[in-house]
């Protein structure tokens, strides 16, 4: 039972897809111009992820290892088309807004990543817990980033005005560059928060969060040359 | 050999099952999707070009020679019809809903249904300042002014303007070819 809870919860913070493991960034950047769009995309991903984990984990023993990726893709693609058709039939305005990004869920690394890393190695129940956790984490992240951008860029959340009257919206935030800025600030904030928490607990702070560039090997070669 | 066979069989079964499920789903959602497209894509444009009416053009639509025709009725009499046509703009097809006055054989107006023109430049063809130029226009000489017509193209958006005018001209051709059938269908009204 505790394993089940653990697999569910890890997607909500420790392995939060877009902000901690940086998976599935294309929709994160592209559709979060408003909280509503983010939530809609998140719901579609929850559905596809849960169904794909369910199906893949239940037939994982018959899938030959050599063609497993092809099988995963076929299953994911079918589910995405299902979502696309259902969205067209019952939520057309949302479909108009999300546009090309609905079919692009197929190539969202999050879904293939969970299929490969989790569903193909674990049972049905655990896989569903994993998918729900990851999916909800993903949807919540998208909605959060969407809300932040919408507040700053349009002064509304879910279409409801929340800012004071003389507030001048920075339209830049709902354009493409706003997505990068928003994502970057959130990532920086999360790193700062984690560092603060580690310090408070007296744990050693991982190099990655220390702000310096020591952990990055990119310029190591140059340093070596200089030393010589 | 057995391994290859195993792979082939499993992959084929998965693909076949997916295909079968999707075909059925597509069939099941077809009419619902058509309804949604009519409401959200063609609906808004349709209602602006056929404003003088007291019926529901979407509900009473008729297919003539493969073209969907939306009738506008007033006091039980046919006053106008609208149909959609497409022509290539700067990037992709521009869809235009064109309304016709059946009594005077002139344009009631046009509305853009779908376009992927450059935001802020080509998409100005959607603005009333451009679409209003077609109101009450006759059915001949539908052309931009550069090519001898009387529709001024939008500065900096020549391709988009020409595309829109081309689509309107196509709609006029279709309208003229199905004109007898239109009067035939709504003969009593």
* Within a domain: B134: yes
* Within a domain: A191: no
Q: Contact, A97 vs A37, CB < 8 A?
A: yes
* Within a domain: A190: no
pTM check: above 0.95? no
Between CA A168 and CA A157 the distance in angstroms is 15
Average pLDDT by stretches of 10, chain A with 228 residues = 86 84 85 89 93 94 90 93 92 85 86 90 93 94 92 86 82 87 91 84 64 55 58
Contact at CB, A89 and B15, closer than 8 angstroms:
no
* Within a domain: B161: yes
Low-confidence ranges of chain B (pLDDT < 70): 188-189
Mutate one of B5, B11, B14 to test the A interface: name it (highest A CB count within 10 A). B14
End-to-end CA distance of chain A: 57
Which residues lie closer than 8 Å to A207 by C-beta, 6 or more apart? Answer: A214, A215
* Within a domain: B33: no
Q: What is the number of CB-based contacts under 8 A between chain A and chain B?
A: 53
**Beta strand B77-88 pairing with B62-64:** unpaired
pLDDT, position B47: 82
* Within a domain: B72: yes
Q: What is the DSSP string of A190-222?
A: HHHHHHHHHHHTTPPPPGGGSSSSTT--TTHHH
Contact at CB, A92 and B39, closer than 8 angstroms:
yes
pLDDT, position A48: 94
pLDDT, position A215: 54
Residue of A nearest to B10 (CA): A63
* Within a domain: B120: yes
Of A66, A78, A93, the CB nearest to B22: A78
**Taking the mean position of all CA atoms in its chain, how far away is CA B64?**
14
CB burial of residue B147 (10 Å; 0-12, 13-18, 19+):
exposed
pLDDT, position B189: 53
Q: Kindly report the nearest CA distance between residue B110 and chain A, in angstroms.
A: 22
* Within a domain: B13: no
Nearest to A32 by CA among A154, A136, A148: A148
Mutate one of A56, A61, A72, A74 to test the B interface: name it (highest B CB count within 10 A). A74
* Within a domain: B170: yes
Mutate one of A89, A93, A95, A103 to test the B interface: name it (highest B CB count within 10 A). A89
Q: Kindly report the nearest CA distance between residue B41 and chain A, in angstroms.
A: 9
Q: What is the DSSP string of B129-167?
A: HHHGGGTT-BSS---BGGGTSSBPPPTT-HHHHHHHHHH
Which residues lie closer than 8 Å to A64 by C-beta, 6 or more apart? Answer: B3, B6, B7, B10
Instruction: Give the gyration radius of chain B's Cα atoms.
Output: 21
B-contacting residues in A 94-113 (Cβ below 8 Å): 96
Q: Kindly report the nearest CA distance between residue B44 and chain A, in angstroms.
A: 13
* Within a domain: B166: yes
CB burial of residue A117 (10 Å; 0-12, 13-18, 19+):
exposed
pLDDT, position A138: 94
Dihedral angle of Cα B56, B60, B64, B67, to the nearest 10 degrees: 50
Task: Check if A64 contacts B (Cβ < 8 Å).
Answer: yes
Chain A CB contacts of B21 under 8 Å are 78, 82
pLDDT, position B8: 92
Range of the domain at A43: 2-174
Contact at CB, A82 and B21, closer than 8 angstroms:
yes
Range of the domain at B126: 47-185
pLDDT, position A180: 93
Q: How many domains does chain A have?
A: 1
Q: Kindly report the nearest CA distance between residue B158 and chain A, in angstroms.
A: 26
Task: Check if A75 contacts B (Cβ < 8 Å).
Answer: yes
């Amino acid at each position: 039972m505790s394993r089940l809870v653990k697999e569910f919860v890890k997607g909500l913070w420790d392995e939060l897809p877009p902000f901690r493991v940086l998976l599935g960034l294309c929709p994160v950047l592209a559709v979060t111009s408003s909280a509503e769009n983010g939530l809609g995309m998140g719901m579609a991903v929850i559905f596809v992820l849960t169904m794909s984990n369910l199906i893949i984990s239940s037939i994982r023993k018959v899938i030959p290892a050599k063609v497993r990726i092809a099988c995963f893709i076929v299953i994911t693609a079918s589910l995405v088309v299902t979502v696309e058709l259902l969205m067209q039939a019952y939520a057309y305005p949302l479909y108009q807004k999300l546009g090309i990004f609905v079919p692009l869920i197929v190539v969202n690394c999050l879904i293939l990543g969970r299929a490969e890393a989790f569903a193909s190695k674990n049972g049905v129940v655990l896989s569903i817990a994993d998918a729900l956790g990851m999916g909800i984490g993903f949807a919540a992240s998208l909605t959060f980033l969407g809300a932040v951008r919408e507040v700053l860029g349009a002064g509304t959340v879910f279409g409801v005005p929340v800012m004071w009257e003389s507030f001048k919206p920075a339209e830049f935030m709902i354009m493409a560059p706003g997505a990068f800025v928003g994502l970057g600030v959130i990532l920086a904030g999360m790193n700062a928060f984690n560092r603060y928490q580690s310090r408070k607990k007296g744990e050693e702070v991982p190099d990655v969060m220390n702000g310096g560039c020591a952990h990055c090997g990119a310029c190591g070669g140059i340093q070596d040359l200089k030393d010589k | 050999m057995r391994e290859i066979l195993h792979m082939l069989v499993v992959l084929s079964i998965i693909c076949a099952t997916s295909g079968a499920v999707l075909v059925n789903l597509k069939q099941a959602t077809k009419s619902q999707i058509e309804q949604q497209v009519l409401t959200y894509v063609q609906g808004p444009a349709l209602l602006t070009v056929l404003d003088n009416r007291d019926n529901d053009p979407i509900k009473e639509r008729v297919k003539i020679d493969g073209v969907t025709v939306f009738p506008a009725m007033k006091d039980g009499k046919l006053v106008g019809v609208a149909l959609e046509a497409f022509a290539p703009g700067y990037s992709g097809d521009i869809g235009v809903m064109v309304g016709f006055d059946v009594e005077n054989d002139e344009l009631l107006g046009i509305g853009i249904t779908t376009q992927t023109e450059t935001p802020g430049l080509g998409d100005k063809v959607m603005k009333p300042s451009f679409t209003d130029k077609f109101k009450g226009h006759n059915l001949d000489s539908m052309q931009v002014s550069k090519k001898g017509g009387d529709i001024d193209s939008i500065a900096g958006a020549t391709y988009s303007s020409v595309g829109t005018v081309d689509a309107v001209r196509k709609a006029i051709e279709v309208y003229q070819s199905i004109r007898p059938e239109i009067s035939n269908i709504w003969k009593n009204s």
